[in-house]
Amino acid sequence: MEIQSHFVDAAGIRTHYLEAGDGPVLVLVHGGGAGADAWGNWKDTFAHFAPHFRVIAPDMIGFGKTDKPSPESYVYDQPGRNAHLAGFLDALELRGVDIVGNSMGGATAIGVALDRPELLDRIVLMGSAGLPIPPKPSPQLLHNLHYDFTRDGMRRVIGGLTAPGFEPSDEMVEYRFQLLENPKARAALEAINGETRKGTLNYDEDRLATIEHPVLVVNGKEDGVSILPRAHRFLELLPNSWGYIVPHCGHWAMIEKTEDFCGAVNRFLGVDASA
């Protein structure tokens, strides 16, 4: 399986994305953790999704190889990410796509569903942001919000995003650490974290209840960042939603429990496991 690397202009932002497979389009949107990008977050899932879908995984604005405008001229808030993702789908002339969003990526999928509902079909929210539950950042999230740009700090970030007992490889730590050696990436992350502290990832519950798309809400049972009560509230608010809770798993189901997570997503999207 070949995973191709491409760039496209999305709403004026030079945007990097990975692509593999053929068939209906499945878009994977990574979260906002320190050192996040499409490759680091989704690489293990391509083998499960690409046999059934045309898989497209962009680097969000400020992350990976996508442009990182100066915070002096660009506000790294949730409306900006929503507009960027919608612009990305427009640039590729995509409509009615299935989408998986993790954490901040989930909040971005929600924003597109609200602002441009015709762009999406089925939605998977995995450890999604979008609701103020818990009401203030958890100790696990604070490792990310206070990342100090050291390798030890990156290990603390990963520890906060995973279930107890998860041991990141040195390669994982180094990959994520190196992505933030770029001064523009550091400035973007600090601006993103500043906006996150303001609560700009959250949506009004009445607006969330208007989303009519089919939604699968996935959450790690031991996720300390997007805790189970948030997943339960999404299920209460979203009228056409199903839930899938992954045991012994933190915020990164796609990494910690890859086969379990991908199997649940494939079933939700109608893939026949026996075929």
Segments in the chain below pLDDT 50: none
Give the separation between CA 4 and CA 218, rounded to whole angstroms.
Answer: 28
Please list the active-site residues.
103, 223, 251
Q: For residue 84, which phi and psi values (nearest 5 degrees)?
A: -65, -45
Residue-wise pLDDT for 96-141, tens only, equals 999 999 999 999 999 999 999 999 999 999 999 999 999 888 999 9
**pLDDT score of 247:** 98
pTM reported for the whole predicted model: 0.97
Residues forming a β-bridge with 56: 19, 27
The architecture CATH gives domain 4-268: 3-Layer(aba) Sandwich (3.40)
Pairing of strands 4-10, 13-20: antiparallel
Sequence ranges of the domains in the chain: 4-268
Decide: 164 and 222 in contact? Cβ < 8 Å. Answer: yes
Residue-wise pLDDT for 63-76, tens only, equals 999 999 999 999 99
SS3 label, residue 64? coil
